[in-house]
Amino acid sequence: MLPFLKDKREGSVSEPPSTIRRDPDDGADFDSLEVAAQDLCDAVHSRNYKAVAEALRAAFELCDSEPHEEGPHE
């Protein structure tokens, strides 16, 4: 699980904590954006809007950290 998606409500009595599970990383074939996309899909399937927001935030931060050129926005 990406660090952005750690459940901050651990120990909450009102709701059971949501967990997003995925297969272990494959070393050389590891693509962090694919992992973020998988976490997003899992969050959507769990119908947990807070997990979806965190997964979107993690995916955005990963994309924003990629090298890119700034140009005019139209």
Domain boundaries, the chain: 31-66
CA 62 to the chain's CA centroid: 9
- Is a pLDDT exceeding 80 seen at residue 31? yes
Structure tokens at 55: 């997964």
State the residue for tokens 């009595």. Answer: 13
- How far apart, in Å, are the Cα atoms of 38 and each of 44, 46, 72? 10, 12, 32
Task: Return the pLDDT at 65.
Answer: 87
* pLDDT at 69 (0 to 100): 77
pTM recorded for the entire structure: 0.54
